Amino acid sequence: MMKVLDVKNLKKVYTTRLGAHKVEALKDVNFSVEQGEFIAIMGESGSGKTTLLNILAALDKPTSGKVRLKDVDLNAVPERRIAEFRRNNLGFVFQDFNLLDTLSLKDNILLPLVLAGDKYKTMEEKLMPLAKKLGIAPLLEKYPYEVSGGQKQRAAAARALITNPELVLADEPTGALDSKSSEELLRLFTNINKEGQTILMVTHSVRAASVASRVLFIKDGEVFHQLYRGNAGEEQMYQKISETLTVLAAGGERSA
């Protein structure tokens, strides 16, 4: 097994302006992700999920602790290299899609390759199989405002996948979708994960988390509990996650 991500003793303290207030968003977060895993991260509002995701995405720096992506210590990537590092190694899927309204779906999807300086021919070769797989091939010339939320999110997934990233980071990817589009997106994530794509997804949705291979629960800036899928089906996983959230909300003891 190969580690894609290794998070050690991660701590993040926000200091407000004038330094009057300090908020410890992450206290001591530790976990690692093996290649091919599909991780869901859950936790109540304010538990530190966005903070964690921002640090993993190299958008923010921890107060202390380490993040390694493959062999690279994120702290050691120089500022001028960060954008390139992100583009080469990570794919992002956001709750609100983050597509550019002035670009067609095709150009949105190709954007990371354009930024990386790929040749047009290479881009086209990568685009079609992916667009077909995600069911958006007939929509490529359309603009984001001309397609549904589910279609927008599939275009966003294509943009995340087109660079073949080590890791896909998804922030509440079903948050703005109706239940049918959510199910389609979860199916899609499940399929690309089965094909080997490592995924880390932050979500409030028990249903979304129930397709993951492992669920991490964050509480008070620490990993409070982990659930491994094992042989459990999605419904069983749904049950286990619900139970764990109940314990968490009650502020109770760590369950076994």
Residues of this chain that bind ligand ATP (CB under 6 A): 14, 16, 23, 25, 43, 45-51
In the complex with ligand ATP, which residue's Cβ is closer, 46 or 230?
46
Q: Which is nearer to ligand ATP, 25 or 157 (CB)?
A: 25
Q: In what order do the strands lie in the sheet with 222-228?
A: 90-93, 167-171, 199-202, 38-42, 214-219, 222-228
Q: Half-sphere exposure of 221 toward its Cβ, with a 13 Å CA cutoff?
A: 14
Length of the chain: 256
Provide the 3-class DSSP secondary structure of residue 98.
coil
Q: How far is CA 57 from CA 16, 71, 118, 146, 200, in A?
A: 22, 15, 23, 30, 11
Q: State the minimum distance, in angstroms, from the CB of residue 85 to ligand ATP.
A: 22
Minimum distance of ligand ATP from residue 7's CB (angstroms): 15
Least spacing, CB of residue 60 vs ligand ATP, in Å = 9
Pick 45 or 179: Cβ nearer ligand ATP: 45
Looking at beta carbons only, is 47 or 153 nearer to ligand ATP? 47
Question: Beta strand pairing status for 3-15 and 64-69?
Answer: antiparallel
What's the min distance (Å) between Cβ of 230 and ligand ATP?
Answer: 26
